[in-house]
Structure formats: C-alpha cells, structure tokens
Amino acid sequence: MTHLIGYISQIIGPVVDVYFDLKKSKELQLPALQDALSVTRDNGQKLILEVQQHIGEFTVRTVAMDTTDGLRRGTEVKALGQPISMPVGEQVKGRLMNVIGETIDELKPLDHSGAYPIHRPSPKFEDLTTNQEILSTGIKVIDLL
C-alpha cells in the first residue's frame, strides 16, 4: 500500500496546512475529511494530524493532536488512509490514554486490533438498552439513595 505524501505549507498554532502534489498522478485524491496524517518532528517523535477541510485542489487544513513545536514548512507528511482509532474492550479498562489511543500510564502497550474510529455513526436506537440498573459506587450514603 502506497501512502500519499504531502508537505507542510503553513503552521498557525495547532492548525497545519498540508500540500499534496496531485498533478503527477491523476488517480490520487486528497485525504478524506477526518482522515489521519502522520508527520515526524525534528526530534523523531510522530505527530498525528486530522484533516478538517479541503482548501482548493491540492491542500488540506488539519488540526494537530499534540503541540506543533519542532515542525517547519516543507516537512514530509504521510496520509494514513484511515481516521484516528481508539482501542476498545476489556484491555482499556483502568488505562490512561492520550487523544490518539496511545497509553500514557507506562504499562504494557494495548493491542489495536480491536479499535474503532473516533468518528463513527451512533448506534441504532433499537440497539440501545433501556434497562434501569443499580450503579454501586461503594459509598454507603450514595448507594442507599
């Protein structure tokens, strides 16, 4: 799978514009809205950008998911071809994660095989449960109410 490659054209705070030279290949398209892009900072750390707007035929406006320190114009950006995903399931209970699903609690890394995109349709109304359940908090005064 070939990744679409672009270059940073403008940085204003957390907003980063990325230029893709699509003139060379007619079958390539700009990354879709809400798709993730990856860029490597000068210090070697990866930064994830999320596409928010198409500006013209060759540029996308993105929002950085972390600080843009260490970025500069002309830095190479790779389109990942998918939105930002978060791991789900029993493995995430009690874990601390950042906005892109990486653990920040210094425990073992999570398995991203069971991950859902952060932008996805809501569940159907008939799939939601309406059962009333008692939520035990462990605080006697509240649990008696």
107, 95 in Cβ contact below 8 A?
yes
Model confidence, pTM: 0.79
The answer to whether residues 73 and 111 belong to one domain is no
Ramachandran angles phi, psi of 47, nearest 5°: -125, 135
Count of domains for the chain = 2
pLDDT tens digits along 60-117: 999 999 999 889 999 999 999 999 998 888 888 888 888 888 888 888 888 767 788 8
> When comparing pLDDT for 51 and 131, which is higher?
51
- Are 139 and 130 spatial neighbours (Cβ–Cβ below 8 Å)? no
Q: Are residues 10 and 49 in the same domain?
A: yes
pLDDT of residue 15: 97
pLDDT, tens digit, 9 for 90 and up, residues 26-51: 667 899 999 999 999 888 899 999 99
Q: Do 52 and 67 reside in the same domain of the chain?
A: yes
Q: Which domain holds residue 90?
A: 84-120
